[in-house]
Amino acid sequence: MSVETQKETLGFQTEVKQLLHLMIHSLYSNKEIFLRELISNASDAADKLRFEALAKPELLEGGAELKIRLSFDKDAKTVTLEDNGIGMSREEVIAHLGTIAKSGTADFMKNLTGDQKKDSHLIGQFGVGFYSAFIVADQVEVFTRRAGAAASEGVHWSSKGEGEFEVATIDKAERGTRIVLHLKADQEEFADGWRLRNIVKKYSDHIALPIELPKEFHGEEKDKPAEVEWETVNRASALWTRPRTEVKDEEYQEFYKHVAHDFENPLSWSHNKVEGKLEYTSLLYVPGRAPFDLYQREAPKGLKLYVQRVFIMDQADQFLPLYLRFIKGVVDSNDLSLNVSREILQTGPVVESMKSALTKRVLDMLEKLAKNEPEQYKAFWKAFGQVLKEGPAEDFANKEKIAGLLRFASTSEESGEQSVSLADYLGRIKEGQDKIYFLTGETHAQIKNSPHLEVFRKKGIEVLLLTDRIDEWLMSYLTEFDGKQLIDVARGDLDLGKLDSEEDKKAQEEVAKAKEGLVERLKGALAEQVAEVRVSHRLTDSPAILAIGEQDLGLQMRQILEASGQKVPDSKPIFEINPQHPLIEKLDGEPDEDRFADLSHILFDQAALAAGDSLKDPAAYVQRLNKLLVELSA
């Protein structure tokens, strides 16, 4: 062992201490996956060296054959994993092994529940696989040197997982990383060649890098060679390059866990080889759960990019649109050069062509999932539905296809679950109905009882109920589906087309004419609050509602803009009255203009509350209402 210099003891980041506590107290129900995590990290280190060596071949230091070696010592009760990948400098060791690197520590700790089974799923989401070593080890040592650094710049990291770690500078002749696990007394089963082989075959057979173990000899001790002979125990070929017929579902699932750093199986995957004008292979996965940083725009996203099987980039986000940022996987191209850069990826026609094809492939995969496995699609929608809703605005070419994948709550579903597709809706529309009707609002409870739905209930017409914050924005881009217009029932002058008979329309015109005087009086009383007053055809039970002008922002969009500190354009609602309602009839017969104005304002404020809006002057509303109550009780 080389002499250690510049030795220092440092404390773990607070979140790491808490995480280690979870690890040490058997967070994982399946302990053997510590090896999968360490092998996965070693594979990434080899990929990074290959990439950096494209520009700096000297980093290979004369040894271009990359591999992972796994050994054990039963007497010393240790398991050692060594790679000749990129390695780490002293600064990188402190950054990556002393903190939960680049993983949103606050979000991680916030999501911990105390339930071991649930918490174990979070580990993969937050990129903290290295710490899984403490499941089986009571001390972990790391010996590492970054490729290209001098032999005297090796680093020794050591910790017992108790809140601090030691870092020292050592001599290390070979680049790469060696991790030594000092096994706990009850975990000595892992210091066994047969056990380690089985774990590698089970979890890491897909790793495109030889994983070597000492060759086993049977018989007399004298038959063993003086030097250790190594044998490769995994296939060591890139899984995506193998024919689909040769890859088992279990292998696809394990490979997903490797590329996505997830601990759960994916919902679906698509493995495809394209030949012809363009040549590339893609293996795309739909995860089963949303990552914690799905809505952080700067969060890492994209596919692993390989060119002719050489790793190039970890998060190549140029191959899929932003609304499909949850998709994980690999794309391996024969049509890009090995020295491809992010700048070239932004503009190249080859990339545009691949992006278009990969986008269609993902949408086809989701269509298939929705059709063949509705329960699985329900899980997908719950996790990623709001992200998919960004699609119609971003991807005009696939707008209809994306629209078919959207799911909504509706008046036909009492539960409020988002399970109705636009195709479902069209499959049960009324005879003569040529539009798709929807209503947006804050909560399902609020809008399912909205006065805007009264005429639709009366006529038995289904209305989609949209409560996600993105919905109003979505519907400004999604204006039709399958040739039928999507109409907001709270916007403009409601026209039910053929769903209203000629007699209905004639009766409406006559009522509107008869109430012209009342409409004019209301316009005078509410001049400051309303853009227009008119007789409503939407109401059966309520006295009045507020409708939105055709070009005006709806309540949802106004609230989003206000919350983000943006200026909201001035607009006034349209006040619609139900001429058959007793309150409106009473108002019509009110001779006192001051009292008429008070009652008009009360009705207006009640309509605003029913629409989910807040009152501009709550004190004035309460004052008028109290005045009315006193009069009624006199």
Give per-residue burial for 251-284: e unless 16+ CB within 10 Å, then b.
ebbbbbbbbbbbbbbbbbbbbeebeeeeebbbbb
- To the nearest 10 degrees (0 to 180), the angle between helices 516-525 and 593-610 is 80
Beta-carbon-side half-sphere exposure of residue 172 (alpha carbons within 13 Å): 28
| Cβ-contact 440, 554 below 8 angstroms | yes
pLDDT digits (tens, 9 = 90+) for 565-593: 777 777 788 888 888 898 988 888 888 88
Model pLDDT, residue 44: 86
Residue 483, number of CB atoms within 10 A of its CB: 7
Tell me what pLDDT residue 339 has.
66
Look at residue 106 in the predicted model and tell me its pLDDT: 47
Strands 480-481 and 137-145: unpaired
Q: How confident is the model at residue 292 (pLDDT cuts 50, 70, 90)?
A: confident
Name the band, by pLDDT with cuts 50, 70 and 90, for residue 77.
very high
Q: To which H or E segment does residue 123 belong?
A: helix 116-125
User: Burial letters for 544-556: b for 16+ Cβ neighbours within 10 Å, e otherwise?
Assistant: bbbbbbeebbbbb
Q: Which of 551, 552, 540, 616 is nearest to 576 (CA)?
A: 540
Angle between helix 249-260 and helix 193-203 axes, rounded to 10 deg: 90
Whole-Å CA distances, 288 to 270, 323, 364, 384, 461: 15, 17, 17, 9, 35
Q: CATH for 240-378? A: 3.30.230.80
Q: What pLDDT, on a 0 to 100 scale, did the predictor assign at position 217?
A: 67
- What ranges in 169-261 are assigned the alpha helix state H? 193-203, 249-260
* pLDDT for 163 beyond 80: no
Distance CA 256, CA 264 (A): 9
Give the per-residue pLDDT at 16: 67
Which pLDDT value is given to residue 496? 78
The interaxial angle of helices 516-525 and 502-514, nearest 10 deg, is 60
Kindly state the tokens that stand for 319.
Answer: 């191959």
Most confident of 10-24, 242-256, 358-372: 358-372
Tell me: pLDDT of 180 over 90.
yes
Average pLDDT of the segment spanning 31-59:
87
Q: What pLDDT does residue 113 have? A: 57
pLDDT for the residue numbered 245: 92
**Domain 240-378 identical in fold to domain 407-496:** no
Comparing 184 with 276, which gets the higher pLDDT? 184
Whole-number percent of the chain with pLDDT over 70: 87
Rounded to 10°, the helix 349-372/374-388 angle is 140
Q: What is the CATH number of domain 5-237?
A: 3.30.565.10
* 124 — pLDDT class (breaks 50, 70, 90): very low
Assess whether pLDDT exceeds 90 at residue 201: no
Which CATH architecture group holds 501-633? Up-down Bundle (1.20)
Residues constituting the chain: 634
**Diameter of the chain measured on Cα atoms:** 117
The reported pLDDT for the residue numbered 9 is: 85
Per residue in 432-459, pLDDT tens? 888 999 998 888 888 888 888 988 888 8
Separation CA 5–CA 9 (nearest Å): 12
Query: What mean pLDDT, rounded, does the chain reach?
Result: 84
Is 166 strand, coil or helix?
A: strand
Q: How confident is the model at residue 125 (pLDDT cuts 50, 70, 90)?
A: very low
pLDDT of residue 58: 92
Measure CA of the first residue to CA of the last residue in the chain; give whole Å.
99
Q: Of the given ranges (13-27, 224-238, 389-403, 460-474), which has the lowest mean pLDDT?
A: 13-27
Three-state secondary structure call for residue 462: coil
Residues 6+ apart with CB under 8 A from 213: 69, 70, 71, 193, 196, 197, 200, 230, 231, 233
Domain ranges of the chain: 5-237, 240-378, 407-496, 501-633
Exposed/middle/buried for 415, CB within 10 Å: 0-12, 13-18, 19+?
A: exposed
CATH placement of domain 407-496: 3.40.50.11260
Question: Any idea what DSSP says for residue 62?
Answer: T
Cα 426 to its chain centre, rounded Å, is 29
Helix (H) or strand (E) holding 155: strand 154-159
pLDDT exceeds 70 at position 228: yes
Give the closest residue to 199 by CA, choosing from 35, 67, 79: 35
CA distance 43 to 76: 26
At 332-357, the pLDDT tens digits run 998 887 666 666 676 678 889 999 99
Confidence at 101, pLDDT banded by 50, 70, 90: very low
Lowest mean pLDDT, pick from 149-158, 382-391, 557-566: 557-566
Contact between 341 and 310 (Cβ < 8 Å): no
User: 360 Cβ partners below 8 Å, 6+ apart?
Assistant: 398, 401
Cα–Cα distances (Å) from 109 to 22, 101, 102, 114, 220, in that order, read: 11, 14, 14, 10, 53
Q: CA–CA distance from 610 to each of 209, 445, 618 (Å)?
A: 64, 12, 14
pLDDT value of position 219: 54
* CA–CA gap between residue 419 and residue 432 (Å, rounded): 25
Residue 54 has pLDDT above 60, yes or no: yes
519 pLDDT band (50/70/90 cuts)? confident
In angstroms, rounded to a whole number, what is the distance separating the alpha carbons of residues 215 and 165?
34
User: Does the CA dihedral 526-528-532-536 come out positive or negative?
Assistant: negative
- pLDDT above 80: residue 388: yes
- Whether the pLDDT of residue 38 is over 80: the answer is yes
Structure tokens at 385: 């539905």
Residue 66 burial (C-beta neighbours within 10 Å; 0-12, 13-18, 19+): buried
Task: Judge contact between 440 and 611, C-beta under 8 A.
Answer: no
Task: Decide: helix, strand or coil at residue 181.
Answer: strand
Is a pLDDT exceeding 70 seen at residue 461? yes
Of 139-143, 318-322, 623-627, minimum mean pLDDT range: 623-627
pTM for this model (two decimals): 0.75
Average pLDDT over residues 195-201: 92
